[in-house]
A and B are shown apart, each in its own frame.
Chain A
């Protein structure tokens, strides 16, 4: 895999994982996104994105303890990897550099 790609929704999820460092799991990511984007997001979309990014190596996961309100199921916490961080940086730089090239346009 030479050209690592990162979709728009995946980028958002990755940002959220990075932002909630070490405390990020499905539900917190979902809630964070819903709050920032101010719209409903389906949890399955979050899981699909997480699974794909884990396959690509942008995030890694560990299991937490069992809690009562999850029907006896463990939480799966996600942390951004160095590769993931690099990807975010590259993405950020790319956008910034292009943004800076925008000439001053007035919308009189």
Chain B
């Protein structure tokens, strides 16, 4: 018999309403059969054409009425979902607390990453502001990039380059003393700034106008909190403060500088003041050194690569003035995370750290989702009968999927709410942990976006797979009881456990390496001794040099009378200067060379280090050749250099350097004789390579006074020093710190990273173990009868524990072993950024592995031992 074309028939049946289907399909078939006796082809064609003609509103069924009462169904999904959560409270709790922890960590870390990437965003021109830095070269060899550049560069760039709209120069004025009436303050952060600072950057005025606020000499703009500190109120326009070089009139008060900028300050002095108070300086001279942070406001859409090329050409044309230095520009938004050059205004963040944390966040979220997937699919057998009955009762697969997805929505939403609670409670701790002001994270849209994204991805990703698995059961075999074990998706579950523990092991291994590296840096032989070293800030010079000098001498004599004080030294800089925030930077000079040698042969940045004769003994530094300065002698023409400088000056050995003469490009008539070469010590952190340094004899009493102390009663020594200080320098504040503490601040960022990582690693372990705990307890529940029978037949407790644990421990072991090569690569990458680093011993890998295996054995055995000790009667008496 002829059959009408199947596809058209199916189409007809799909759209046509039941009421007319009998008539239409019947008549069509009859006509078709009659027609196909004469011409089958035409009949088919006709049939199709007719079907299409029926596709009109009168005959199309209402698809809306397909599910008569959707609301009722959803209500039922929620009810059933809720009940199944309550039915097994233990698993639900493990599921939800794991998820909540994961979500909370993720939100924390995302907020942190957002904050780290938000630097400079508050400037409305942020995308068009570039900082010009100075690349220092020796010949063609790149040495280092200095963030500060020459004073005349800004005006020159604006004049010569059409794409430069404006420039602003800021000159560092760290550690300046401020006097308001009789009150004295030491301010760490301030700058001499061009008046364009307010047009290029976006600072908001609270009082006064910013227009031309810094255009005249002796003007100052201060921040609100500084104003409060000085005057107790913010409306202080037209008041005066006494700072470096005299009185300054306050022309405006601005809002506090946000925390997420690299350029922080308490006040800005007008740049035009500087040439007036420092007579060696003019801002037209290339000879005044490179001490200006220079920012350019560029026309929107400027190509930075092309612009940098132009800067290189410009540098070449200025060769007679700046030697081989090259200008280069970087977007200010990149400064915080990517710059890390020398003389940064503040310690930068590290993009690598930020992305590492982002990776950890994703890891932890993944762990939590894996828990959900594992527990839901493992429990499949419990739900199998329900699925079977539902299917028999006419439930479509899509409805079952919806039901399981609803459950996952319930779990995820509750977990998200718990996570919000955790975030709220944990926020102060997190702020302390990261050292960043993140208290306002709830106010950022991105926080809520990521929460919603996590929820959606979580529901689809973690709920989707179990939903598909559970809804796929064949009702006949399930109801007959053929569906035995939850072997379904076994490989996936094991794979996921492997993933979890591999991730956790990697975290722990990396954590261990970070810890050891920081420890290593702190205990590293710095080439000097900075323990038991008390540093005082040198007193203000408010009297004639000679009087002052004699006062210092008597202060020193007094101090040395105390048996606990061994050496007293005065120097412009101290170890840590130049890399520890808050310490006076070292001044640098380029182009130092041997007398009679090629001028351009050496354009290293040499650090200038004015010291007295006691400096080298105070820090227990060693001389590899020559001698130290002698106090009370004429030392004016002598210098001491370090080994690095000896190398870069072209001496073959320290011995050769001693007795040679060096000179400077800026002061060609100034010849200095090298009398000694000091062994390299880590002036900056051991993270970095040694820098070339030149020590000159200058007991001028500025900078710092170093006290080498040997005592068990530090308090008493400090007290003694303070008493003498107050006698001799009553007008100067006595401010001191311990050098080792200050110096170790350089590792603060690393240490903080370590602590953050430790915290989140612990959370990751907790989540992974929660999952393992749930999974093992469930599997054991499945095997209760088996355990009972084994015991009845004579299996010992040990054997049963072994049997039950073996499966899990096996996979944990596989995971840990997989983790080793991965973490090896990661640690290697991270360590490569340090000049001084630990050797990777096998222990770094073995110890975490053992820890992980022990923890997982512990987790699993809590369950297995309980199960093995249970009385077999209890498990066997019921069927």
B24 near A74 with CB under 8 A, answer: no
Other-chain residue from B29, B50, B54 in contact with A71 (beta carbon distance below 8 A) = B29
In the assembled complex, the CB of A81 is this many whole angstroms from the nearest CB of chain B, namely 18
Q: How does the 8 Å CB contact mask read for B84-116 relative to A, with 1 for contact and 0 for none?
A: 000000000000000000000000000000000
A60 within 8 A of B: no
In the assembled complex, the CB of B613 is this many whole angstroms from the nearest CB of chain A, namely 114
A36 within 8 A of B: no
Query: Which chain A positions have C-beta within 8 A of B49?
Result: 42
Q: How far is the CA of A27 from the CA of B23 in the complex (A)?
A: 10
Query: Which chain A positions have C-beta within 8 A of B29?
Result: 69-71, 73
A101 within 8 A of B: no
Query: Which chain B positions have C-beta within 8 A of A75?
Result: 23, 26
B22 near A63 with CB under 8 A, answer: yes
Query: Which chain A positions have C-beta within 8 A of B27?
Result: 25-27, 30, 43, 47, 70
In the assembled complex, the CB of A55 is this many whole angstroms from the nearest CB of chain B, namely 9
B31 near A73 with CB under 8 A, answer: no
A73 near B26 with CB under 8 A, answer: yes
B578 within 8 A of A: no
Q: How far is the CA of A70 from the CA of B21 in the complex (A)?
A: 12
B28 within 8 A of A: yes
A73 near B25 with CB under 8 A, answer: yes
Q: A42-B50, A51-B58 are in contact. Are A74 and B26 (CB under 8 A)?
A: yes
Total A-B pairs, Cβ < 8 A: 60
Query: Which chain A positions have C-beta within 8 A of B25?
Result: 70-71, 73
Query: Which chain A positions have C-beta within 8 A of B34?
Result: 27
A71 near B26 with CB under 8 A, answer: yes
Q: A51-B20, A73-B22, A74-B22 are in contact. Are A27 and B53 (CB under 8 A)?
A: no
Q: A51-B58, A71-B29 are in contact. Are A26 and B23 (CB under 8 A)?
A: yes
B676 within 8 A of A: no
A43 near B28 with CB under 8 A, answer: yes
In the assembled complex, the CB of A33 is this many whole angstroms from the nearest CB of chain B, namely 13
B610 within 8 A of A: no
Interface residues on A, range: 10 to 19
B50 near A43 with CB under 8 A, answer: yes
Query: Which chain B positions have C-beta within 8 A of A48?
Result: 56, 58
Q: How far is the CA of A30 from the CA of B30 in the complex (A)?
A: 11
B763 within 8 A of A: no
Q: How far is the CA of A71 from the CA of B12 in the complex (A)?
A: 14
B30 near A69 with CB under 8 A, answer: yes
Query: Which chain B positions have C-beta within 8 A of A42?
Result: 49-50, 53
Interface residues of B in 600-616 (CB under 8 A from A): none
Q: Which residue of B lies closest to A71 (CB)?
A: B29
B81 within 8 A of A: no
Query: Which chain B positions have C-beta within 8 A of A44?
Result: 50, 53-54
A70 near B26 with CB under 8 A, answer: yes
Q: Which residue of A lies closest to B21 (CB)?
A: A73
A27 near B30 with CB under 8 A, answer: yes
Q: How far is the CA of A48 from the CA of B23 in the complex (A)?
A: 12
Query: Which chain A positions have C-beta within 8 A of B58?
Result: 48, 51
Query: Which chain B positions have C-beta within 8 A of A63?
Result: 22
Q: How far is the CA of A98 from the CA of B20 in the complex (A)?
A: 39
Query: Which chain A positions have C-beta within 8 A of B28?
Result: 43
Query: Which chain B positions have C-beta within 8 A of A30?
Result: 27, 31
Q: How far is the CA of A28 from the CA of B27 in the complex (A)?
A: 9
Query: Which chain B positions have C-beta within 8 A of A45?
Result: 53
Q: A27-B31, A69-B33, A71-B29 are in contact. Are A76 and B50 (CB under 8 A)?
A: no
Other CB < 8 Å A-B pairs besides A26-B27, A44-B54, A63-B22, 4 of them? A26-B30, A69-B30, A70-B25, A76-B22
- Give residues in A with beta carbon < 8 Å to B: 25-27, 30, 42-45, 47-48, 51, 63, 69-71, 73-76
- Give residues in B with beta carbon < 8 Å to A: 4, 20-31, 33-34, 49-50, 53-54, 56, 58
Closest 6 CB pairs of A and B: A73-B26, A26-B27, A70-B26, A76-B23, A44-B53, A71-B29
20 contacts between A and B (CB under 8 A): A26-B23, A26-B24, A26-B26, A26-B30, A27-B30, A42-B49, A43-B27, A43-B28, A43-B31, A43-B50, A44-B54, A47-B23, A51-B20, A69-B29, A70-B26, A71-B29, A73-B21, A73-B22, A76-B22, A76-B23
